[in-house]
A and B are shown apart, each in its own frame.
Chain A
Amino acid sequence: MIQFFGRSAELQLEKDVSTRYLPVVIAAMIFLAALSIGGLFSLSNAISDWSKTLTDNLTVEIAFDPSADLDKKVTDAVALLSATPGVASARAIKQDETLQLLEPFLGKNAALGGLPIPRLVEVIIAQDSAIDLAALNRKLAEAVPGARLDIHRPWLDKMVLLGRSIQILAAGIMLLIGCVTVIIVIFAVRTGLIMHSEVIQVLHLIGARDNYIAEQFQNYFSRLSFLGALPGLIVAIIVMFIFNFLVGSLEASMLPPLTVGIEGTVALMLLPFLVALLTKYTVRRVVLKSLRRMM
């Protein structure tokens, strides 16, 4: 790592006041980037989980009817569904469970008992089976009046669209962070070039190639970026843990916890190296371009 970053022996960039706060700015950028990555991968995982869960999962909804025997309707529906080929299982959801599902929306202490709540049946479709859901819905409605098959698809499609939109937004934020980082680094490098123009001239006149000078700049600035990125990343990870703790401690929270998965963890760990590489490449381009304007 030390070899990779090197030292700016002749230029003494380490003593520059102008670049002293660059690691702080980089830390802030990496903090935001890490949170964006956290959000990006969490949403991706959440969408994947929703799709996976809901693809093989249907719900039968039996409308509330005070004059009808709802328990019988439920029993008839379960019997019909269990006898349908391709249905792995059909289970009546108890009234208590239904009320629990409503808690996040209505609160724990709401008077749920008096509400006209429909009765639900959970249906699990067997893997690799092809069921005509429209035909099943018709058959169910005929056998059990007021019963309707909910395949969750419209809701899921909207959630996936929302998730993808947020993902694009997060990617846009990442891009913006990258651009701002590059611009900040360019300004810092140009200041450094002006401050050290005399030494650069001496180095040129005793035979230094542009690469020799550029290396001192790129090594120094990539070191600053890397060292700034580390605390930014650590703080972002701590914030994610705190967020997950808060989500976990809030009863019946609608917010999913931040779960970045393996790919997200790798992306987060790579962030300091990527910003160091981005800085190195940017600095090299800027220095070589500026030096070309000199004799």
Chain B
Amino acid sequence: MRYGLGPEVLRDISFHLRPGSFHFLTGPTGAGKSSLLKLLALSHRPSRGLITLFNKEVSSLARDDLPSMRRKIGVVYQDFRLLDHLSALENVALPLKIAGAKNDQIYQHVAELLEWVGLGRQVDAKPPTLSGGEKQRVAIARAVINRPQLLIADEPTGSMDAEMGLRLMYLFQELNKIGTTVVVATHDLELIKRFGNPVMFLKDGLLTTRAQDELPATFSKDPV
């Protein structure tokens, strides 16, 4: 994958995610984690190579077919990407509204989900009035409201304290238990070790699978 006419940021990457699995994606800053997630989220197309999602080759998917594929994928961004002028309820309801669901069904489901992520009292709050952790939970609720088959989270705990980060990870585990394939990109090695899920290690644009004990203690300038 490359941005415009720039150099390739990812190359020779090949991996398979089993449906219902939970993987961490880690690596030093600038390794290409976000770029890999962009490919998985169908936000960018690869400059070469193939990507198969849900048994369909998507690297050259027709533009008209992209929305239906994207609705099977939930993405939690590091910077949340919530719409500030919409309430928490409206932000979470957006994927359902876009998919054409009826209003009464939308708001019943959304209210339940916001309750589940602990934001039952802040349904009408606008994102600028919420804390980082609360925004992240709204973003997660928005990502899972459509019951996606694949959930991608980019540094989901980066903007919150350790306790809140753990709570979010337990939330991802709950979603994984009901069959959602989860990929969490993080450079928080403590978090990875605590949960013990398979780890994909990305460095200099190359991807390898590593066991927990093969991970570096920290990401220094020259890790491992």
Contacts and interface: CB of A to CB of B under 8 A. Distances in A.
B85 A212 contact: no
A205 B70 contact: yes
Interface stretch (A47-55, A72-80, A196-204): A196-204
A207 interface: yes
A12 interface: yes
A207 B150 CA distance: 14
Give the contact-size bracket for chain B.
Answer: 20 to 34
Interface in B105-161: 142, 146
Nearest to B86: A10
Interface residues of A, number: 19
A195 interface: no
Contacts of A9: 86
B191 to A, nearest CB: 25
Contact of A207 (B64, B81, B85, B99): B99
Contact of A205 (B41, B63, B86, B146): B41
Interface in B78-92: 81, 83, 85-86
Indicate the member of B67, B68, B81 with the most A CB atoms within 10 Å.
Answer: B67
B98 A207 contact: yes
Nearest to A210: B63
Given A10-B86, A199-B83, A295-B44, A207 B67 contact: yes
Interface of B: 41-45, 63-64, 66-68, 70-71, 75, 81, 83, 85-86, 94-95, 98-99, 142, 146
6 contacts: A12-B85, A202-B81, A205-B42, A206-B95, A207-B68, A207-B146
Interface of A: 9-10, 12, 15, 198-199, 201-210, 212, 292, 295
